[in-house]
Amino acid sequence: MSVLYSSTRDDSKKLTASQAILQGLAEDGGLFVPDHIPALDKSIDELANLSYQETAYEVMKLLLSDFTEEELKNCINKAYDSKFDVEEIAPLVQADGAYYLELFHGSTIAFKDMALSILPHLLITSARKNQIKNDIVILTATSGDTGKAALAGFAGVEGTKIVVFYPKHGVSPIQEKQMVTQKGDNTCVVGIEGNFDQAQTGVKQMFNDAALKAELDQAGFQFSSANSINIGRLVPQVVYYVYAYAKLYANGAIQKDEKINVVVPTGNFGNILAAYYAKNMGIPIAKLICASNENKVLYDFFQTGIYDRNREFILTSSPSMDILISSNLERLIYRIAGDDVSKNREFMGALTKDGKYEITDEMKAKLADFYGNYTSEEETASVIKDLYEKTGYIIDTHTAVATGVFKKYQKASNDTNTKTVIASTASPFKFTRSVMNAIDEAKYDKMSDFELVDELSKIGNVKVPNAIEEIRTAPVLHDTVCEVEEMPSVVKKFLGIQ
C-alpha cells in the first residue's frame, strides 16, 4: 500500500513522497507526515544478514513508495559509498554497559551525513519524476552540523544551489571552519547576528513568502529544504535504528524480539522521531530516551506537558542542541493528537503567538514510551572524563549529554538490564577543545585547536578524520555576515535576482 504525505496543519491535500521531498515544507507552514507508518516486511532473521545499503532499501522502499527499485537503489549506492570511512557505515561500539551507534563516519563527521549524503540524490530524482524545470535552491538553517553536511552533499550537484545560514557566534571553531571553507560555485554560507532559532524562523518565513516564491519562479528557481523538516531527511534516519537492532541480534547481543532502549541527544527532535518511526515500523524499542542539554525545553515538556520556549537561550558545549524551537516535535504532536490537523494548528498557533502550548492529559498518556532528562555542562564534561578514564573510549559533547541522561534514566527507573543503544552523533574531533578540556583542562587549555586534534588522536588512539585534515590549511571562501532581517536579500543577491 502506497504511503502518501500531507501537512500536519491541513490533510486535505495528499502528496507522493517525491512531491513532499521537493516541497520540503508545506505551504501552510506545517510538516509533511505519512498517512500511515508501514510495518517492515522482512523478518529480523532476514534483516540480520543485510548490509547497511540493503537495510536502507528495505526501510526506504516502504516510506518512499513512489520511487522505483532502480531509482532508490541508485540513490542509496551513490550515498553510502567510500565517503564513509568504515564498511559498516554505522558501527556499534560497546563501552561501559551501552552500545554506542557511531553515526559520524561520513565526510563531515557528524550524524547529519547519514541523511544528507542521500538527500541530494532523492531531490534530483524527485525533480525528474515530477518534470521540474527550475533549479532547486536548498535553503537551510544550521546549529552547526546540518550546514556542512548539506553543503558537502549538494556542492557541485547540477540543477541545485544551496544557501546555509548559521549563528555567527553559536558554533564551534571547527564547525565554522568546515562551513566557510566549502568549495563549489553553487554554495553560499552566511553567518547571522542571532541564534539558531532566529535563523530557522527566518528560513521558514522565506519558504512561506508568496511574493518571494513568485520572484524566484520567474527567475527559474524554487526553494526546497535540507533541514530535518524535509521528509527526505527523516526517512534515511529511520534506517540506522533498524540496522542497529538487526546487528545486535546478528551478533548475539540480544535475543529475537528482545526489547532495547534507545538514547538520543536531541535539539530539533528529528533524530529521536526517526527512532519513534522505527519503533512504529516494528523494531522492538522499549524506551525512547530524549536527552537535552541546558536548553532543556524538551525535558520540561516531557515532565509537564507544557512546551514553553520563553526562556533564556544558553550557549553550551553541545551547540547542535542549542535549540528552543524543536521543529520536528510538531510531527509527534500531530500524531498524539490523533492526526487532528485543527488541534495541531491550534498548538502551533499558540507557540507562534505566546511561545508556548499545553497538551491534553489524553495526549500526555501517549508519551509513555518517552523518557526525558538533561545533562548540565558540568555533568557533560564529567561524563567524557569518566568514560575515557574507565574505558579509553572518547565521545563528543553531544554523545556525553546522551550518556549522562542514560545514567539518570537507569537510576530513576532501576532498569539496568535492558540493552541500550546510544546515538553517538558527532566525532569528538569536531569539538576538540570541549572534549580535551573535559579530560584534563590544566594540561590542554593552552593548546591551539589543531594541536588538540593531534593530541586527541594520540590519547584516543584514533586516526584524525579526513574532514579535519582537509580544513587545517583551507582558505576561507565565505565571509558574509548579516542581520536576521537581511536574510532574503542575501539569498536574492546570491541568485542574481536583485
DSSP secondary-structure letter at 463? Answer: P
Calpha distance 73→478 (Å, rounded): 35
- Relative to beta strand 285-292, strand 370-374 is parallel
Calpha distance 166→144 (Å, rounded): 7
Calpha distance 141→204 (Å, rounded): 9
Calpha distance 22→93 (Å, rounded): 36
Cell triple for residue 303? 515532565
83 is a catalytic site residue: no
Give the CA distances from residue 314 to residues 264, 328, 344, 434, in Å, rounded to whole numbers and listed in that order. Answer: 20, 20, 28, 16
CA atoms within 13 A on the CB side of 136: 29
CA distance from start to end of the chain: 46
- Which member of 42, 61, 112, 493 is catalytic? 112
- Please, which residues bridge with residue 308 across strands? 356
**Which amino acid, 228?**
S
Contact 59, 32 (CB under 8 A): no
Q: Locate cell 509513555: which residue? A: 368
| The dihedral sign for the CA sequence 412, 416, 420, 424 | positive
- Please identify every residue annotated as catalytic: 112
